[in-house]
Amino acid sequence: MLSPLFALAALAIAGPILLHLVRRRPKETLPFSSLMFLEDSPPKWTQQSRIEQWLLLALRVSVIALLALAFTRPYWASAAKLTGGSELGIRRIVLLDQSASMRRAGIWDAANARVSELLANSNPADVVAVYSFDQKLHPLLSLATASETSIANRKRTVLEAIRKAAPGWGEGNLGGAISECAELLQRERSEVDGGANGAGEIVVISDFVIGTPIEELSGREWPETISLRLERVLPSHMGNAHFESRADENASNPSGWRVRVTNEPGSKHERFQLHWIGERGNRIEPIALDCTVPAGQVMTYQVPLPSTQIRGLELSGDECEFDNRRFVVPSQGRSVRVLCLENTKGGPETSLLHFLERVPFGNSEDSIEIVRVNTGDDWSVTAQPSDTWIVCATDFSEKDCERLIDFMNVGGHVLWVLDEPIVDRRPSPTEAAIPVAADAGFSNRVVLSEIARRFEKLTGSTLKSLSEAKIEQYGLLGRIDFKHPVFAPLVDPKFNDFSKVRFWRHRKIELASLEGWVIPAWFDSGAPAILQRRFGHGELTILAAGWQPVESQFALSSKFVPIISQLFSSATVREAVSIDWIAGKSYTLPESAVVEPLLEASPLDSVESNDPRSRSSTGLSGGRLEWIVSPGVWKLGDSDGSRRDVAANIASAESHTELMDFEELSRYGATVREKPQSREDELQKERLLVAAELESRQSLWWWLLLFVLVIAGGESLLCIRKQGRTEGAVSA
């Protein structure tokens, strides 16, 4: 019985017995004159009382006894299954934290000792698997392999798997690792032995620092048959000092860096020094900044830059050294060209280039060159399409069209501005000599047939119609998608008012199909204002009106700079990885990429400098590589000769080494145990888990309740029959 105390409810059978022994007063009475002067004498329970309705009593006692037995949750089990002997075993996953915070002095040795202690207290029949985790779960000894290992070799196999492990540089994801292990145990339960042994346990060996995320546990319901044991290991020295740095944005101090130093509670030191690191990992002397940060406090300092090349910043005076270096790569400027394809027109205010030159492209480190090229002239771009952005006017040549297509196929971005009126035919010399107020500033108007042919060739789409829009006074942008990257910076209500951006004229484009096109903005007439489409590896953006004052007020509005800057940024973005890498994280690189170390983490910062996963690359489909990086400065090169330096640092969350409260894990429904139980307690718990599994599979209580219903129904029918006989006798 799983709940034997419910058997005490069977004592309630005394009730029906007593009621059957007591004689009840008859319901029907007949008055007799000779008895009217005698006293009333009700029936009493005496030694002469005896049970007359044995069958009814047996039925009623059976109902109570079976109900009590059902609530005890009975099951059938042989003694061998519940003795707790050598044949009894559970499936256990040892989950070992391999994140960067486990590199602290003494903590990895404590973790190995805790695994050995766990194995010594385990049943030889237990199936023990070993997994480690940082950002991902890594199988050291999978659950399937552990299940296939013979009982005599299980403990030795686990110890061999632990010896191969070492702490890495990645950020720990405790919640995700526990969730994956729980799924593995549940899957193993359903696949092995038909789920006959559903007992499972996850033993987490970690330092349990507050920087470890556990939010992923909230998305699942914790299984009842799986328990979670938390084994905390502590370093030799508690407390940690860490820092974050960034270039000072104050214009009055452009050569300084701001450094925020945090000294956690429990630290025994409060005096530190900040040193710059040179290209060879050496400290740059004599620049060293003294810092005084009491335990539990945060202080910010300004550190002047040295005149030599820097590769990082180091904090000295802290006994916890795994995160005392932060590597940096000084910003490197780029040479970017903005190529404007348009013919020379009247005044400068009638050209696209005049207003492009007034947009602050890029940043102070970049070299931006804006070049005008007449349509039909020779022009070329660099091997990197992201180093060039092409803006072309309405009328470009057939030769330009072919080169634009080639440029977009390799990843280039093109902005095509339809900035000239469209007519059905080319005007005669006499008509062209007559000035038209609406066409002031333009030498000619574009012929519909020519522009339509170039449009279909450049875009690969079929035009339904292309014409000049009919506008009475002016047109406005009637519908804007502020989720689109071009308009995303203007989503704030303070900036999203386009009512003053008026268009004196614009082109009306109707496509046979909009498949593949994105339209982030429409005119109030219903015609598209901006159209975008992926073309090869690049992109084509079409603006259906010019931004010159003769066309619209767009170039004179406050919206012009952010919109053009967004188009420029998306066109010149680097496809390579960012200059700031997170250590332990995997990055996808081109197959031709070559990564070389310029400055790696100091041996003082690591337990083993030859971590097998810190500098490994794995081939992926599509000619890509997956690279897992360790802290340091790395040179990323490509087959075209381009080079970029990147800095990889430990995730900031790993530096927050204050202890986590285990109650945080309990709030997500996990059955948490902090301290290991004795062997007897373990065996008793295993017996209970096996018994619960057997009871759940057999479900004897369900059959007992069915018998209760049958007996209760029979008792009711018997009572009705006897009552009918009594009423018949009385009436007779």
Q: Which of 252, 594, 239, 563 is closest to 417 using CA atoms? A: 563
**Multiple choice CATH, 580-649, 3.30.1490, 2.40.40, 3.90.550, 2.60.40:** 2.60.40
Residue 253: what pLDDT?
A: 46
* DSSP assignment string, 83-109: S-STT---EEEEEEE-SGGGGSTTHHH
User: Around Cβ 715, how many Cβ atoms within 10 Å?
Assistant: 18
Helices 448-459 and 398-409, axial angle in degrees (round to 10): 20
User: Around Cβ 139, how many Cβ atoms within 10 Å?
Assistant: 16
* Greatest extent of the chain over all pairs of C-alpha atoms, in Å: 148
Q: Which H, E and C letters describe 524-562, residue by residue? A: CCCCEEEEEEEECCEEEEEECCCCCCCCECCCCCCCHHH
Tokens of 178: 């526990």
> Against a cut of 0.85, is the pTM above it?
no
Domain boundaries defined on the chain: 4-74+699-731, 86-237+658-695, 241-319, 335-571, 580-649
Residue 288: what pLDDT?
A: 81
Separation of alpha carbons 111 and 92, rounded Å:
17
> Which residues neighbour 530 within 8 Å (Cβ) at sequence distance 6 or greater?
486, 519, 520, 521, 541, 542, 543, 544
Separation of alpha carbons 611 and 333, rounded Å:
34
Separation of alpha carbons 507 and 396, rounded Å:
17
Tokens of 226: 């799986």
List, for residues 585-635, the tens digit of each pLDDT value.
888 777 777 888 888 775 434 333 333 333 444 444 445 667 788 899 888
Separation of alpha carbons 570 and 547, rounded Å:
20
Same fold across 241-319 and 580-649: yes
Residue 505: what pLDDT?
A: 93
* DSSP assignment string, 555-614: TTSTTHHHHHHHHHHHHS--SSPPSEEETT-EEEEETT-EEEEEEEPPGGG-S-TT-TTT
Tokens of 461: 């789409």
> Which residues neighbour 622 within 8 Å (Cβ) at sequence distance 6 or greater?
none
Domain 335-571 matching CATH 2.60.40: the answer reads no
Residue 303: what pLDDT?
A: 87
Q: Which of 452, 423, 416, 451 is closest to 543 using CA atoms? A: 416
Residue 250: what pLDDT?
A: 45
Separation of alpha carbons 158 and 154, rounded Å:
6
Residue 677: what pLDDT?
A: 53
**Multiple choice CATH, 86-237+658-695, 2.60.40.10, 2.40.50.140, 1.10.1200.10, 3.40.50.410:** 3.40.50.410
List, for residues 442-498, the tens digit of each pLDDT value.
445 678 888 888 899 999 899 899 999 998 889 999 999 999 999 998 988 888 899
Separation of alpha carbons 629 and 648, rounded Å:
7
Q: In what order do the strands lie in the sheet with 643-649?
A: 580-582, 643-649, 632-637, 594-600
Domain 241-319 matching CATH 2.60.40: the answer reads yes
Cis ω before 286 (30° cut-off from 0): yes
Separation of alpha carbons 239 and 263, rounded Å:
8
Separation of alpha carbons 585 and 626, rounded Å:
10
Which stretches of the chain drop beneath a pLDDT of 70?
22-29, 42-50, 52, 77-89, 190-199, 219, 247-256, 286, 331-333, 345, 363-365, 383, 425-445, 574-579, 602-625, 639-642, 669-671, 673-686, 725-732
